[in-house]
Amino acid sequence: MDFTISSLDRSLENTIQHKINLKTKPVGSLGKLEKIALQIGLIQHKTNPTLKQPTILVFAGDHGIAEKGEVNPYPQIVTQQMVYNFLSGGAAINSFCNRNKIHLKIIDAGVNHNFGNQSDLIDAKIGYGTKNYETEPAMSIDQCKTAIKKGANIVSETHNNGCNVIGFGEMGIGNSSAAALLMSHFTAIPITECVGAGTGAQGDAIKTKKRVLKTVFEKHHPNSPLEALATFGGFEIAMITGAILKAAELKMTILIDGFIVTAALLAANTINNNVIDYCIFAHSSEEQGHQKILNFLEKTPLVTLGMRLGEGTGAAVAYPILESAVAFLNNMASFEEAEVTTKD
Ligand SMILES: O=C(O)c1ccc[n+]([C@@H]2O[C@H](COP(=O)([O-])O)[C@@H](O)[C@H]2O)c1
Ligand SMILES: Cc1cc2nc[nH]c2cc1C
């Protein structure tokens, strides 16, 4: 839990903004790309930042509450099946990472399955799924601390391999419930307004999901961000919280994905509110709670594509926008270089 995260060093802000304004374009005409270029420049403390070894880490974990199937349309076994799908290259995140030249790593944070020896799977298993928070906290405080540490260590290794831009994804049947509980805890938005469709709950199924999660929310009274993560979280969510905190400490650019990753960010941001300076919000998930968290954080996402898949797919799809931002900052000519007349 010891992370040293500095707030963004803004001493180069005027220099970078001036460089952006001198490019051969009307002032401000590259819109949000200009803001991203500035943010990445400030994160790297450089007027000519570069994106190196872009990587997405997908953390997978199971959830005790999902065994009954009351809050999740798909059965728990899909978590392990999708991990095999990631490993054989067949999931959406594989397609997008291949397309956009992003390194992809899959982590077993706590799936209810023994994967044996899988060369491409990082084994960070905390347990075979969390406990059901209808009756007891999802995990112990010690397990939660271990998950945060493991997430942080995986980011450190990735950084040591030369990565300076990172996104996180997750896979865990039932984790939209954990995310809704965490969201309500950290934003004080009533739990029923945080609950959404997840993988596709509709009609009576949504009513049941809201009723069950309201009872869960009212049963527990966590007293710290760590206790909240342990009570409502998943192993993959706690690991992402640690991963975000470490990535900010290492001054990496962090691409935030959808509802579940943003719930992990809420925990990280409560632990240390400097983390948000390092985050770029990739997309607005169709999951209704995600839009409310973005409003709560006063952040505008890069794209809205009606996606609600998770896996880090929003981050993977939005990554080329960061490449475009850095490319114009580094490669575009200034008015003087191109001998273009500027306005009076
Ligand atoms: O990240 C999102 O915006 C998102 C929104 C809805 C669903 N998901 C994915 O769907 C799963 C959780 O949904 P559920 O219904 O099983 O709680 C989990 O594997 C997530 O990756 C992800
Ligand atoms: C098939 C499937 C793929 C997923 N990827 C992330 N969450 C998912 C949930 C389901 C059900």
156 lines ligand 1 (CB under 6 A): no
pLDDT category of residue 284 using cuts at 50, 70 and 90 = very high
Spans of all domains in the chain: 13-50+328-338, 55-320
Any atom of ligand 1 within 6 Å of the Cβ of 146? no
Q: What is the CATH number of domain 55-320?
A: 3.40.50.10210
Mark whether 134 is an active-site residue. no
Q: Which atom of ligand 2 lies closest to the CA of 74?
A: 11
Q: Tell me the residue length of the chain.
A: 344
165-183 burial: b if 16+ Cβ within 10 Å, else e = bbbbbbbbbbbbbbbbbbb
pLDDT digit string (tens) for 330-342?
999 999 999 999 9
The model's confidence at residue 34, banded by pLDDT at 50, 70 and 90, is: very high
With a pLDDT cut of 90, the percent of the chain lying above it is 98
The pLDDT-based confidence of 343 (bands split at 50, 70, 90) is: confident
Ligand 1 close to Cβ of residue 301 (< 6 A): no
Catalytic residue among 34, 311, 337, 339: 311
Mean pLDDT, residues 224-235:
98
pLDDT band, very low/low/confident/very high, at 240 (cuts 50, 70, 90)? very high
Cα distance between residue 119 and residue 157, in whole Å? 17
For residue 208, what pLDDT is reported?
A: 98
Task: Return the ligand number nearest the Cα of 175.
Answer: 1
3-state class (DSSP) for residue 332: coil
Q: Which of the 8 DSSP states describes residue 23?
A: B
Q: What is the mean pLDDT of the chain?
A: 98
Give the binding-site residues of ligand 2, using a 6 Å CB cut-off: 74, 78, 82, 171, 199, 309-311
- Cβ(126)–Cβ(143) under 8 Å? yes
Residue 287 scores a pLDDT above 80: yes
Spell out the SS3 assignment of 156-200: HHHHHCCCCEEEEEEECCCHHHHHHHHHHHHHCCCHHHHCCCCCC
Using the 8-state DSSP alphabet, how is residue 135 labeled? T
Alpha-carbon dihedral angle through residues 140, 146, 149, 154, given to the nearest 10 degrees: -120
Q: Which of 60, 48, 44 is nearest to 104 (CA)?
A: 60
Q: Which residue has the tokens 């984790």?
A: 175
Ligand 1 mean position, distance from CA 175 (Å): 6
Q: What is the mean pLDDT of residues 241-264?
A: 98
- State if residue 265 touches ligand 1 by the CB under 6 angstroms criterion: no
How far is it, in rounded angstroms, from Cα 249 to Cα 257?
19
Nearest atom, ligand 2, residue 310 CA = 6
Q: Which residues contact 213 (CB under 8 A, 6 or more apart)?
A: 71, 177, 180, 181, 191, 192, 195
Walk across the sheet containing 279-281 and list its strands: 121-123, 103-110, 55-61, 165-171, 253-256, 279-281
The residue whose CB lies within 8 Å of the most ligand 1 atoms, and thus the one to mutate among 57, 213, 260, is 260
Distance CA 146, CA 148 (A): 5
pLDDT tens readout for residues 144-176: 999 999 999 999 999 999 999 999 999 999 999
As given in the structure block, the two tokens for residue 270 are 């409560």
Put residue 277 in one of left, alpha, beta given phi > 0 → left and psi -120 to 50 → alpha.
alpha
Protein residue with least CA distance to atom 4, ligand 2: 309
Give CA–CA dist 155/85, Å, rounded.
23
Which ligand number lies closest to the CA of residue 285?
A: 1
Q: How close is the Cα of 60 to the center of ligand 1, in Å?
A: 11
The closest alpha carbon to 146, from 216, 241, 64, 221, belongs to: 241
Could you say which ligand is closest to the alpha carbon of residue 260? Answer: 1
Q: Is 272 helix (H, G, I), strand (E, B) or coil?
A: coil
ipTM above 0.90, yes or no: yes
Domains 13-50+328-338 and 55-320 share a fold: no
- State in words which class domain 13-50+328-338 has: mainly alpha
